[in-house]
Amino acid sequence: MITSSAIEDLKSRFQGKLMVPADPQYDAARRVFNAAIDRRPALIAQCAGADDVTQALNFAREQNLLVAVRGTGHNVAGFAVCDEGLVVDLTAMKGIEVDPQARTVRVEGGCTWGEVNDALQPFALAATGGFVSVTGVSGLTLGGGLGWLVRKHGLALDNLLSAEVVLADGQQVMASADENEELFWAIRGGGGNFGVVTSFIFQAHPLGAVLAGIVLHPAAVASDAIRRWRELEGGAPDESTQGALLFHFPDDPSGPPSLRGAPVVGLGGVYAGALKDGEKLLRPLREHESKLVDTFQPMPYNAAQRMADFLWPAGLYNYWKSSFLTTLSDAAIDVFVDWFARVPSKRTVIVLEHNGDSAWDRVPDGATAFGSRAWPYNFVVTSAWSNPQESEQNISWTRGLFAALRPYLAPGAYVNYLGGDEGVEGLEAAYGRKLARLAAIKGKFDPANLFRLNQNIAPALVQGREATALG
């Protein structure tokens, strides 16, 4: 129980908004992307800046409260909200400052990637961000950051130049290659384990129009289509980041009647180089007899980042499974296609990504805390449904597909795509042999594990005794 006098006292030192369950805005403020997460914090501290974050963390420590940190609340595991504790909510921290000369952008912790690329576009600059516009800069960057420029410019975290961080003891520090280097290494992959990042400075990149879009084919030819995409990926230059997706076309009256609700395979993405080179490269994807739709066209990068938004609306029940693959074999493709034919929900999307042989895996392995770049192919099954009574059926289908893929799974996973029920296995897959170093840095910056609502790295050397990296 937090007393109202304690809250009043905090209010006198707090610039932002404090919300308790009786507040009319409380329900909207506790909601996250995944409707399956329904938690009721004792207090939501919607911060106006770094000083508010310091005040909120000091209050949480004094009151012995569980702490959740919210960038924009997109993590499907629901780490951005807790029961009973305190949410350090950054959603009102929306500052973005572009420096066109230095080609950098300073971004506060509550921004989405769409907002950042909208601010960069007038300067013909872009930041890699994610594959959709709505995800949070914070969580996405701290775990990795796969987006449409990943093969050209690496992960979002590879483009991070510095960060302002509020540590567990409330102290505000900078982290960069020259300042608090260990912390800078750890936050580039180690997620929210080390502190609350209140702002980031990213390298942005000059970028004119990109060639972006998707070609849809009926799901009946999915096996052939995905093999064709894999062939193209074999020799693709860094400028090209394309994916393969299995999904149902939205059952929306504004769509073409022949496609509404139909199962399809989509091949597409972004070519961020000379348009004529992109046209030539992508011809095998676009000029196939089975195609139903081809949306490829030149567009600004901020528009390209929005083109897949329709596939992942907020407010559905979500359960995700993901892993890197040792290789994308014919047999693995057949497993995806066979299981998709039996998917219980038309809102579920299977995404296949190819990041390898590009700027992404030319970053030295030890340069950041990001788990492993050894595996070129990655997948994420984003199961989503609208009726909570269908949860068991959808979760069980997702687990079944994942089990069928076991022979092809690499010993590595992307931490931001984990669903939250993987436990130690997920942590080991995400960080591998980097876990011990991360645990040592965690022990230094957050020995009491205040930041534990995340893919939690237990601090080594807790209270003078050796802890294992897994707690």
Ligand X SMILES: Cc1cc2nc3c(=O)[nH]c(=O)nc-3n(C[C@H](O)[C@H](O)[C@H](O)COP(=O)(O)OP(=O)(O)OC[C@H]3O[C@@H](n4cnc5c(N)ncnc54)[C@H](O)[C@@H]3O)c2cc1C
What is the contact surface with ligand X in residues (CB under 6 A)? 33, 68-76, 79-80, 90, 109, 130-132, 135-136, 138-140, 142-147, 191-192, 196-197, 312, 416, 453-454
CB of residue 298 to ligand X, shortest distance in Å: 22
Question: Least CB distance from residue 174 to ligand X, whole Å?
Answer: 14
> Cβ of residue 158: shortest distance to ligand X, in angstroms?
12
Our CB check for ligand X shows the closer of 114 and 147 to be 147
Q: Which residues of 60-77 are buried (b: 16+ CB within 10 A; e: fewer)?
A: beebebbbbbbbbbbbbb
Specify the residue, 345 or 454, whose C-beta has the smaller distance to ligand X: 454
SS3 assignment, position 316: coil
- Token reading at 33: 């992307």
Least separation, in Å, of the C-beta of 132 and ligand X? Answer: 5
Integer Cα distance of 295 and 112 in angstroms? 25
Q: Which is nearer to ligand X, 144 or 300 (CB)?
A: 144
**414's tokens:** 């992307």
**Helix 330-340 with 391-405: angle, nearest 10 deg:** 170
Segment (H or E) for 10: helix 4-11
Q: CB-wise, 104 or 416, nearer to ligand X?
A: 416
Query: Minimal distance in Å, beta carbon 254 to ligand X?
Result: 21
Name the burial class of residue 102, with classes exposed (0-12), middle (13-18) and buried (19+) by CB atoms within 10 angstroms of its CB: exposed
CA distances from 263 to 16, 195, 234, 245, 456 (A): 46, 43, 26, 11, 37
Kindly tell me which of 277 and 361 has the beta carbon lying closer to ligand X.
Answer: 361
Cβ nearer to ligand X, comparing 189 with 300:
189
The closest alpha carbon to 348, from 230, 248, 229, 243, belongs to 248
Residue 79 or 397: which CB sits closer to ligand X? 79
- CB of residue 147 to ligand X, shortest distance in Å: 6
Q: Closer to ligand X by CB, 173 or 292: give it.
A: 173
Shortest Cβ 334–ligand X spacing (Å): 26
Residue 177: DSSP 8-state: S
Q: What is the chain's alpha carbon radius of gyration, rounded to the nearest angstrom?
A: 22
Cβ neighbourhood burial of 124 (10 Å; 0-12, 13-18, 19+): middle
- Name which of 269, 196, 199 is nearest 238 in CA terms: 269
CB of 187 to ligand X, least distance (A): 8
Name the β-bridge partners of 242: 269
Nearer to ligand X, 203 or 290 (CB): 203
DSSP H helices, 369-447, are 391-405, 423-431, 435-445
Closest CA to 347 of 222, 259, 263, 255: 263
Least CB distance to ligand X at residue 276 (A): 28
